Amino acid sequence: MTAPLLTASDLRAGYGGDDIVNGVSLSVVPGEIFTIIGPNGSGKSTLIKVLAGIVPVRKGTIALFGKDVTEFKAPQRIGEGMAYVPQEFNVFRNMTIAENLKLSTEFLGLRGRAGYLERQRVLDLFPDIASRQNLLAGNLSGGQRQMLAFACALISSPDILLLDEPSAGLSPKLVIEIFDKVKAVNALGTTVIMVEQNVAMALPYSDRALILVNGSVRYQSDATALRERGDLHELFLRES
Amino acid sequence: MGQLIINGLGTGLIIALPAMALSLTFGILRFPNFAIGAMLTMAAYMAWSFNTILGMSLILAAALTILLFPLVALICDRTVFKPLRTRGPVTLLVASMGLSFVLENICRLFYGNDARSFDIPLARPYRVMGLRINYELLVTAGVSISAMAMVYVILQHTSLGRAMRAVADNPNLAAARGIDAGWVIGATWCLSGMLIAASGVLIGMDRAIDPQLGWNYIIVCFAAAILGGLGSPVGAVIGALTLGIVGELATLIVDPNYRSAIAFLVVALVLLVRPTGLLGRREIVK
Amino acid sequence: MIGYLTTIMTLVSIAVLIAMALNVQWGMCGMVNFGLSGFVALGAYTTAILMLNGTGVFMAVAAAIVICSVMGALLSLISLRLSDDYLAIVTLGFGEVIRLITLNEDWLTGGALGLPGIPRPLVDYIGTDHYEKFYLAVCVLVVLLIFIGLELATRAPFGRALRAIRDDEVVAASLGKNVLLMRVKAFAIGGGITGIAGSLQAFQFSYIDPSQFSAIMTVYAFMAVIAGGRGSHSGLILGACSIMVLLEATRFLKDVVNILDNSQIAAIRLILIGGGLILLLIYRPQGLIREYRATAPAAPKNVPHDRKE
């Protein structure tokens, strides 16, 4: 087995009072699509925010390529090869597509020509948004917005991409399109961790899956093995 | 009537600067900074010290204040607001009230309660078509309009401006795009500090400098910022000009002492009819 | 010395009342009131004007309570659909309007000179010799009655619901319209208490003027509520008293440091009030007396944290 790209051990985090993420350990190997599923309110979204550096860790550690990044905030983790696409509100709606893209390079030390080249490289992947750069991002359709969010995240050439519910609020046809894009990005060498509510659609695209219930890991396995198990429903609902 | 509108514009142009500052910090930090009045007072005293005690020309004193006052704003942020950043807007606004007390009384401690004024020669007002136009009014207009233009250019056409708009719009996403919120917050306080400093000097030219100086403007500043929809600097300018003129015209029917009461009433009415302010966006409402 | 202590304790009682009003509005319900001094002034002037025009004590106080409650309800109604930031500004504006009216409407409020000669209740029976002590007893009694009333209300479903609204926006949302009504009620109750405080203040010196109702009153109430632990009425009394003692102590500063004049001493006191408020918020958001609060039933489980988004 290859050395893990990202390892988290015994993570605890939350807002205000009690911990929402309750001692989660996981490790993700290079090149895979690792999907976190679980019932509503299980802490999936908080977990991925912790991994991204948005929500601070209370206990436990996160390592990227063996380097401890637990204390790094989101902007610093980008420098370590991580990118994160939040759920739904993932573009700046009051800015144009061009401004959104520009903003994604400006603070990575990619100014002027270097930034332009990076933007062109990513736009080649997303021809749909490349053609209408002066449009306000707030006026984009759900699918296009998701594409723009991907594009902005990929500008930093991340080794690992964190996606929070990429299919949220999209029609089934668009969901397939989005997951195809995830697969394409993955095929180019980017490891993906995603949180998904839409288990049936997400599992076929995943290599491995983790079930989170009440903030702790309920089950972890190969995605195909999980699909073949009939008791998924029970895994979700059984109280620990 | 025409004279009243001109005077109103003058007042509006003065209020526009702190109202913009208020909107900027609200946009980024999501709490209304009640210390803005005391900050105006302190800036006015700072300029007065350079001008009268150190004998600098007012222009030099003003420039130095605009340069140094951002430091005061930064110190306030680091000592008071930064430790409370995660505690929610209500805690922050209560803290800003406390800060307001501290700043105002630091001024009182060092300068006493006596009214001071800048060391500037009295100039005769110009007369244009029967209207009196003060030299101060022209200076105010010049300073205020260039400050507004500067803020607009920074917000719309620089990477700092993009970062500020990004953090105001969605702080988590901004962090995910590599924008260091701490840096943006610092820059926002500096920019606000400069606006407050400029306005403090303009107010000091307009009236006597005493520890209550800022207190007289706080309601009007808030009223202007709310009228424009808290968080929108352009809206704040429009709100300020509107209130300036309305306040001046209202003196035709009510006692001039009630100027800030009028500003308050205008805002209360606007809030009843349009909770987001005249130009506000929906997301400001809970 | 006894006379001085009696006066101080009477003033502390009135300050405790104002802080209690804030505790209902802000401590229990999360609604900021920056216009407290305006409310107290409204209560005081209502009582004073009625008393000077020959109304009975009972009517004068009742009128102050009613007017302040109605004003509280109205202000919270204006900002009902808005976030708490706006309520802060609306109340601040209200306080300023009241201040301007007391300063400028000489025919009604006596302007900057104020209203002298407010008749003190029962003075003919008690006599002037022991009146101060009697009046202190009255104030303490009022504080006790309101304290008991609030404690009961806090334990009643109404109080639980208020705290639920403050602490959990999901609960708040699911309660829907009731929340709005309860917020208005809480603000009206707080308003009524400030009305009583105002009446007591009017009788205390039998003289009122606008300078008695400055913003210091408001900031002091915030300090007391934070020091006592938000939402806890008993903690609040201890908090308010300990802060008052500390602040009174600074009055003697000028005996020690004689390079400062009176206005500088006053400025230092105000710096201490403002700075103390900030320090409490940063280091003691759960109140000064932690052990006490652990047993207080009104104590919220967690320190209120960021509830935005």
**Helix (H), strand (E) counts: chain B:** 11, 2
Identify from C281, C308, C309 which residue to disrupt to test chain B contact, counting B C-beta atoms within 10 A and taking the largest count. C281
CA A89 vs CA A107, A134, B161, B174, C188: distances in Å: 20, 19, 20, 11, 39
What would the 3-class secondary structure string for B89-128 be? HHHHHHHHHHHHHHHHHHHHHHHCCCCECCCCCCCCCEEE
Per the CB < 8 A criterion, the answer to whether B185 and B61 are in contact is no
Q: What is the mean pLDDT of residues B148-172?
A: 92
Contact call for A75 and B179, based on CB within 8 A: yes
The CA distance from B267 to the nearest CA of chain A, in Å, is 26
> Hey, is the C-beta of B80 within 8 angstroms of any chain A C-beta?
no
Average pLDDT, chain C: 83
The CA distance from A238 to the nearest CA of chain B, in Å, is 33
Contact call for B159 and A107, based on CB within 8 A: yes
pLDDT digits (tens, 9 = 90+) for B61-76: 999 999 999 999 999 9
Contact call for B178 and A73, based on CB within 8 A: no
Residues of B in contact with C97 (CB under 8 A): 261, 264-265
Q: How far apart are CA C289 and CA C243, in angstroms?
A: 12
For each of the domains in chain B, give its residue range(s) and CATH number, in order of start: 2-273 (1.10.3470)
Residues 6+ apart with CB under 8 A from A140: A91, A97, A129, A148
Q: What is the pLDDT of residue C237?
A: 85
Contact call for A89 and B173, based on CB within 8 A: yes
> Hey, is the C-beta of B180 within 8 angstroms of any chain A C-beta?
yes
CA B232 vs CA A77, B142, B248, B279, C153: distances in Å: 31, 22, 24, 8, 41
Quick one: pLDDT band at residue C173, thresholds 50, 70, 90?
low
Q: How far apart are CA A87 and CA A46, in angstroms?
A: 11
Whether C68 has a pLDDT exceeding 90, the answer reads yes
Digit-by-digit pLDDT tens for chain A (240 residues) are: 578 899 999 999 888 777 888 889 999 999 999 999 988 888 899 999 999 999 999 999 999 998 999 999 888 898 889 999 998 788 998 899 999 998 888 887 666 677 788 888 888 888 888 888 888 988 888 888 988 999 999 988 899 999 999 988 888 888 998 999 999 999 988 999 999 988 888 889 999 999 998 888 888 888 888 877 777 767 776 654
Q: How far apart are CA B175 and CA B182, in angstroms?
A: 10
Q: What is the pLDDT of residue C300?
A: 40
Q: What is the pLDDT of residue A138?
A: 87
The CA distance from A39 to the nearest CA of chain C, in Å, is 19
Q: Is the pTM of this model over 0.90?
A: no
The CA distance from B170 to the nearest CA of chain A, in Å, is 7
Whether C154 has a pLDDT exceeding 90, the answer reads no
ipTM for the whole complex: 0.88
